Structure 1
Amino acid sequence: MSTSSTAALTVRDPWALVPSLGNLDAYISAVNRLPLLTAEEENASARKLRESGDLEAAGRLVLSHLRLVVSISRQYLGYGLPQGDLIQEGNVGLMKAVKRFDPDQGVRLVSYAMHWIKAEIHEYILKNWRMVKVATTKAQRKLFFNLRSMKHSMKEGVADDQTHRMSLTEAQLEQVATTLNVKREEVLEMETRLSGGDVALEPQTDDDGESYAPIAYLADETQEPTRVLEAQARDALAGDGITRALDALDPRSRRIVEERWLKVNDDSSGGMTLHELAAEYGVSAERIRQIEVAAMKKMRKALTPA
């Protein structure tokens, strides 16, 4: 490493070498220009960090390996997640590796950090690639990532972002199961999960026309606050409210309303007709209708809140 390169990584604030860049390509270009540390420089920085918590030493170790995170992130672009997010999660893994790195083990940081970088990216993918998690156990996670990698090698010439949608043949299923030392059924289940396409809950268009995205028919409107209040008010009116309104009527008006609107016979035919009530009270059917209308108005008034 040249003297100028070494000095670049020994400044008071090494993080200033990678400024906040809005463009991902600019960030990648910047980290690729950062100089690498020699084995001796890496060792010295790691010892400073372990012995005295030197943050400048930690900064030098992290900065010199940012290009490694970028390189590893490219292996996971086929999951449809932004590379910037993959890099960000990988950087978290890199910092964890730097914190735990022991220079006395005789291993370069690049080899040690790869595990931590991939672990963080794997965790991010499993949490964000699908709304429903496709791999929850350690064995399923291993199968998830290895299956996709093997499918890619079996489907030469297929676009990377379409690999997970390609189904395996019976022979390929057996080959994967044997190679990964798992049951054929487990491979088939994971293959089914990987092959399923994602469906957006929200409509993916700005048009004003009707939308039939899942959000339109998956919502539980029964728990919507306005509907809950309306249901409570309706139940109150159907119970105590109706009783209170009927109590406001004289006996004849009450019987007419009950016979006309509230009574149901065994044959579901309803109560008495206007003519039947007219014959019973010795008046015309029109007079019964007038009494009914007046009674209904009085009931509505009784049901109206003060």
Structure 2
Amino acid sequence: MSLALSTKNAFPVSFPLPSAAGSIEAYVQAANRMPMLSEAEEVSLARRFRDEEDLEAARRLILSHMRLVIAIARGYLGYGLPHADLIQEGNIGLMKAVKRFDPERGVRLVSFAMHWIKAEIHEYILKNWRLVKIATTKAQRKLFFNLRSMKASFSTLGPEQVKEVARTLGVKPEEVVEMETRMSGGDIALEPTGEDEEERYAPIAYLAASETVEPSMQLERKEYDRLQDEGIKGALATLDDRSRTIIQRRWLVEDGEETATLHELAAEYGVSAERIRQIEAKAMQKMKGALAAAM
């Protein structure tokens, strides 16, 4: 199976790379079998790609560094996202790095690529991990991606540890405390979810109904929800069958069902995970246009 990337992401061709759509263990083994490059070989290949647009040279550079992507992606498993998806995003970062690599600077590709691989994985996590949707400032992002490892030996940061983390990362102590609270806090169900005696006293029991919610306002809300639901259905109707299925299985699953990963869908359709990603992005854009036109 090939991994294809558009010109926007990296290269306008398909590379015969190992696919993570099957067993992740088999993928890791295949990547680890790829030969390492000496510095001289790396410089020679990079020059061939830069000067002659030799795509075979680019392919060899990428294959020899895929184990680096796997190692970096493994460090982000604590965020609850599929390892295969993290590797896929890291591979995109690696390809971007190869495209921009300058062999004349005297820096090995491994050092240069680490930034691009991590940046791509960070962006993926920020878009998909629910708690991070509130980490919007530069300081919050820095804390989010460093606090977990920095506090590994402490159950809760004390005043001195808070000051040390703030000083190390160049942020305010109160920002450290706030992010620690966000990351360590668990979810609380609003309504009872089981037969447990304690769940009878879920937060919903303590929420008094607002006197301002008149029947007319409730009807207005129901009408809004209905129009919104119809809008999504209408937008889905503009898609072809494959795009519609991908969107539904990635974003519109029923409660209790798991969303499909890029690699699961890639295996089903017999294409690369990046191709599924491209179809998903194009479908989302088309749906946005349809929803905007319906407003």
Q: Normalized against structure 2, the TM-score is what?
A: 0.58
CA distance in 1, matches of 2:192, 2:64: 44
> How has the CA–CA distance of structure 1 residues 203 and 130 changed in structure 2, closer, same or farther, with 3 Å as cutoff?
farther
> Helix, strand or coil: the match of 2:76?
helix
Q: Does 1:32 align with 2:21?
A: no
Q: Gapped runs of 5+ residues in structure 2?
A: 1-12, 195-201, 208-217, 228-295
> How has the CA–CA distance of structure 1 residues 142 and 131 changed in structure 2, closer, same or farther, with 3 Å as cutoff?
closer
Q: CA offset at residue 135 of structure 1?
A: 1.8
> How has the CA–CA distance of structure 1 residues 124 and 204 changed in structure 2, closer, same or farther, with 3 Å as cutoff?
farther
Q: Does 1:181 align with 2:170?
A: yes
Q: Identify which range, 176-185 or 84-93, moves more after superposition.
A: 176-185
> Helix, strand or coil: the match of 1:81?
coil
Q: Gapped runs of 5+ residues in structure 1?
A: 1-12, 156-165, 206-211, 230-306
Match of 1:195 among 184, 192, 216: 184
Q: CA offset at residue 32 of structure 1?
A: 0.7
Q: CA offset at residue 19 of structure 1?
A: 4.7
Which residue does 1:49 correspond to in 2? 49
Q: CA offset at residue 201 of structure 1?
A: 10
Q: Does 1:168 align with 2:157?
A: yes
CA distance in 2, matches of 1:32, 1:127: 29
Larger radius of gyration: 1
Q: CA offset at residue 174 of structure 1?
A: 2.1
Q: Give the letter for the 1:175 counterpart.
A: E
Which residue does 1:270 correspond to in 2? none
Q: Give the letter for the 2:140 counterpart.
A: Q
Alignment of 1:1-306 (within 5 A): 15-16=15-16, 18-19=18-19, 21-130=21-130, 133-152=133-152, 154-155=153-154, 166-198=155-187, 222-225=220-223
> Helix, strand or coil: the match of 1:133?
helix
Q: Identify which range, 140-149 or 166-175, moves more after superposition.
A: 166-175
Equivalenced residue count is 196
Q: Give the letter for the 2:173 counterpart.
A: R
| 8 A contact 2:18–2:27 mirrored in 1 | yes
CA distance in 2, matches of 1:182, 1:47: 41
Which residue does 1:240 correspond to in 2? none
> How has the CA–CA distance of structure 1 residues 184 and 100 changed in structure 2, closer, same or farther, with 3 Å as cutoff?
same
> How has the CA–CA distance of structure 1 residues 185 and 60 changed in structure 2, closer, same or farther, with 3 Å as cutoff?
same
CA distance in 2, matches of 1:202, 1:119: 38
CA RMSD, aligned part only?
A: 3.3
CA distance in 1, matches of 2:93, 2:190: 32
Q: Give the letter for the 1:83 counterpart.
A: H
Q: Give the letter for the 1:49 counterpart.
A: F
Detail structure 1 runs of 4+ shifted over 6 Å in the superposition: 199-205, 226-229
| 8 A contact 2:90–2:120 mirrored in 1 | yes
Deviations 1:226-265 (A, max 9, x none): 9989xxxxxxxxxxxxxxxxxxxxxxxxxxxxxxxxxxxx
Q: CA offset at residue 66 of structure 1?
A: 0.4
> Helix, strand or coil: the match of 1:37?
coil
Q: Normalized against structure 1, the TM-score is what?
A: 0.56
Q: Give the letter for the 1:122 counterpart.
A: H
> How has the CA–CA distance of structure 1 residues 131 and 78 changed in structure 2, closer, same or farther, with 3 Å as cutoff?
closer
CA distance in 1, matches of 2:185, 2:219: 28
Q: Give the letter for the 1:178 counterpart.
A: R
> How has the CA–CA distance of structure 1 residues 192 and 62 changed in structure 2, closer, same or farther, with 3 Å as cutoff?
same
| 8 A contact 1:93–1:113 mirrored in 2 | yes
CA distance in 2, matches of 1:38, 1:138: 37
CA distance in 2, matches of 1:132, 1:173: 20
Which residue does 1:274 correspond to in 2? none
Q: Identify which range, 129-138 or 142-151, moves more after superposition.
A: 129-138
